[in-house]
Amino acid sequence: MANENPRDFYRMVGERIKAAREALDMNQKELAEKLGFKDRQTLSVIESGARKVSSAELVTIIKVLRKDLEYFTDPFLLVGEGVFSWRAQAQPAILDNFEEKARVWIATYRTLGTGLGEPFNPLGFRLKLSERSSFEDAWNAAEELQRKWNLGETPANNLLGIAEDKLDILVLYVDVERGTSISGAACHLPEFSTILINRREPDGRKHFDFAHELFHVLTWKEMPPERLDKDNPLERKGKRVEQLADNFAAALLMPRHVVTKRWSERGKKEIHEWINRTATDFGVTAKALCYWLMNLNLLSIKERQSIEEDRLIWNGRTPVERNLPSIFSGKFMHRIKKAMDKGLLSERRAASLLGLSLEELWKVLEGYRFV
């Protein structure tokens, strides 16, 4: 599938030349000389997308920058764009490999949207927070969103679908390499944002991961997150943005007034049993609810001392094959199917981009009732 507008293609090639050059720590003057240009300005015009690269020039660029042709010309790649923030504990090489897959999925969604004439809406609701904001500011922002979106007393039940619709974001349920601790990620592009969720995580963790990444989507311009958040509260000291994200997620999924009311009605119920049951209602892990009770100063010193973490057992339904969320999402697969129907994408190309066999592709489409 080629870019419909030649100017868009020139800009894409130029941006990728710049990305490859910078990856080699090469300035424009050095590359211009290697390419035989008379001056740096010629390369500058190419990198800005204002001038077409000739076939001969592209062959030389491929050799000098040590990249293949697809790197510069394939629209189904994200090169030099798309900033990620991962909730993971994984080796850098494993994370890099998975990010490359994610970049293909996101680029595919964007490229097909352009080809289908479906506009993106990057403007929308944003949180008025900064790194100087207090945790209570984050709580208040979460409560404002609850009211704005009418999320009810247990927001986890409908947060994802409403956020996807209201913000026009892309949400993808994905599989990660077995034995790898990758909970999820957010990716920021000028056109739209994407949230990736490990579909094999327990429900309670998936809900919190989504709310955490939603905070990043809504504050990216003011507080761009680091690439890697190790998803470990014990290692959060000094990570102000991640602390604010955790507090926002807790307040969003467990409304303060609801938690306070239920706590006041607890009576003499055994504390571990109450936390586990209440966490089930909110769709969060028992440990997340316990930390939230502490943050709200609802637990007395004696109650805090009585809590045994190994008795906080509710993590949400751990999915097995029969109750896994379908891979990717209905919004994503609908665009894939629409592009296939219009001849913008072949079945084999679609399967290859998604990392599926042809049989698996049609099984996913059947699961979403698109065939």
Give the tens place of pLDDT for each residue, 84-98.
999 988 888 889 999
Q: Are residues 237 and 179 in the same domain?
A: yes
What domain range is 353 assigned to? 328-367
- CATH number of the domain bearing residue 46: 1.10.260.40
pLDDT of 330 strictly over 80: yes
Does residue 1 lie within any of the structural domains?
A: no
115-130 tens-digit pLDDT: 999 988 876 789 999 9
- Could you write out the three-class secondary structure of 107-163? HHHHHHHHHCCCCCCCCCCCCCCCCCCCHHHHHHHHHHHHHHHCCCCCHHHCHHHHH
Among 188, 208, 243, where does a domain finish? 243
Strand-strand pairing, 181-188 and 170-174 = unpaired
Three-class DSSP category at 290:
helix
- Among residues 243, 262, 280, the one where a domain terminates is 243
User: Has residue 61 been placed in a domain?
Assistant: yes
Burial of 9 by CB count in 10 Å (0-12 exposed, 13-18 middle, 19+ buried)? Answer: middle
- Considering its fold, how many domains does the chain have in total? 3
Closest of 68, 48, 38 to residue 7, by C-alpha: 48
- Answer whether residue 312 is part of any domain: no
On whether both 105 and 226 belong to a single domain, the answer is yes
Instruction: Give the global pTM.
Output: 0.89
The tokens for 344 are 């913008």
Residues 258 and 291: beta-carbon distance below 8 Å: no
Reported as a single tens digit per residue, the pLDDT across 13-47 is 999 999 999 999 999 999 999 999 998 999 999 99
171 and 203: one domain?
yes
Could you tell me which residue, 117 or 7, shows the higher pLDDT? 117
